[in-house]
């Protein structure tokens, strides 16, 4: 993974090391689903899934600072976000502080840019970043796997958000297999101004009745071949079978992106965010302008895939 936001080329100086131990800054990155299949509902109420996860260069800025006073204080640029145990960043800090009897307190600043409740794992990524940050700040010595074991206690997407890159996600999302990186491209991300309940989506999916599943293995083959056009052709999200009829805006966004040159467009996670893949920057920008003019999107981003060049989990940026 890429280096953290601190100036790592100066980490060998004592002054820099002291500063890093007191404050650490990280980037909690968003994800999209290139493919999403639901296999079955489990007795515990969760669902077994097979998903192709991809990190994108859209992120929340997180700053963690040690304090002498006990407690966890969350500050965010979004007034409606909880600053207590209903925030995964708080839960992640609380989990490690209790397990390792960490002294003092923490101040966590969340500068949110990832759309909230949008199928892009913004909250999960914040929680993952806090786990990684505290592991480094307090020299806990936890491996990537050990962090992931704790992360799944917070949410099914947290282990992936610790790993990042391109991956096959199975089980409830916690069984991860690294995949060849997604080919570089332009990704147009559009979040419509609607709220979609994840519970509503899964309760109305009826996974056992599905006979035609997304071709997840075909997507893996396309990624292995490094073929962007085959990747686009294999994009499918089984949850759209619930969301598109219930929320027509999702279907209209997909259609508009394709009309404006997207190789394909898909809903991410349980929605409502829609993304499109483009092989030319000019075409992507024209599509972005068209979506903006249409009024279908409340938030709009033009980004590229984020790829891990190494598997050093501590370099979470």
Active site residues: 31, 157
Q: b/e for 161-178, b at 16 or more Cβ within 10 A?
A: bbbbbbbbbbbbbbbbee
Report the distance separating Cα 121 and Cα 229, nearest Å. 25
Q: Is the dihedral of CA 49, 307, 180, 223 positive or negative?
A: positive
Q: 284 and 278 in contact (C-beta within 8 Å)?
A: yes
Q: Which of 154, 168, 162, 96 is nearest to 125 (CA)?
A: 162
Structure tokens at 52: 């192709």
Q: 56 and 189 in contact (C-beta within 8 Å)?
A: yes
Which H/E stretch holds residue 226? none
| C-alpha dist (Å) from residue 115 to 118, 120, 191, 194, 204 | 6, 7, 7, 12, 24
Structure tokens at 155: 């949410």
Which H/E stretch holds residue 157? none
Q: Which of 234, 233, 283, 236 is nearest to 257 (CA)?
A: 283
Residue 151 burial (CB < 10 Å; 0-12/13-18/19+)?
buried
Report the distance separating Cα 281 and Cα 256, nearest Å. 17
């Amino acid at each position: 993974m890429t280096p953290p936001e601190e100036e790592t080329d100066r980490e060998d100086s004592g002054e820099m090391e002291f500063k890093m131990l007191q404050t650490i800054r990280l980037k909690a990155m968003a994800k999209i689903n290139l493919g999403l299949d639901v296999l079955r509902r489990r007795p515990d109420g969760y669902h077994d899934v097979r998903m192709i996860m991809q990190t994108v260069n859209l992120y929340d800025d997180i700053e963690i600072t040690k304090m002498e006073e006990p407690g966890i204080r969350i500050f965010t640029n979004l007034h409606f976000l909880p600053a207590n145990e209903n925030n995964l960043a708080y839960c992640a800090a609380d989990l490690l502080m209790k397990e390792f009897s960490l002294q003092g307190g923490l101040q966590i600043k969340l500068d949110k840019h990832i759309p909230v409740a949008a199928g892009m794992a913004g909250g999960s990524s914040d929680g993952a970043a806090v786990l990684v940050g505290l592991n480094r700040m307090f020299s806990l010595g936890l491996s990537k796997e050990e962090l992931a074991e704790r992360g799944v206690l917070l949410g099914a997407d947290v282990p992936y958000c610790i790993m990042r890159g391109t991956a096959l996600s199975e089980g409830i999302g916690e069984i991860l297999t690294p995949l060849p990186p997604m080919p570089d491209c332009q990704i147009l991300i559009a979040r419509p101004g609607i709220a979609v309940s994840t519970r509503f989506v899964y309760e109305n999916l009826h996974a056992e009745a599905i006979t035609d599943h997304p071709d997840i293995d075909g997507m893996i083959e396309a990624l292995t071949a490094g073929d962007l056009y085959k990747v686009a052709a294999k994009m499918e999200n089984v949850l759209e079978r619930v969301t598109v009829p219930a929320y027509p805006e999702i279907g209209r966004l997909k259609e508009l992106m394709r009309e404006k040159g997207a190789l394909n467009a898909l809903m991410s996670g349980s929605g409502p965010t829609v993304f499109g893949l483009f092989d030319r920057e000019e075409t992507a920008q024209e599509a972005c302008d068209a979506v903006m003019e249409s009024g279908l999107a409340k938030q709009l981003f033009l980004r590229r895939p984020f790829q891990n060049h190494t598997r050093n989990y501590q370099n979470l940026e």
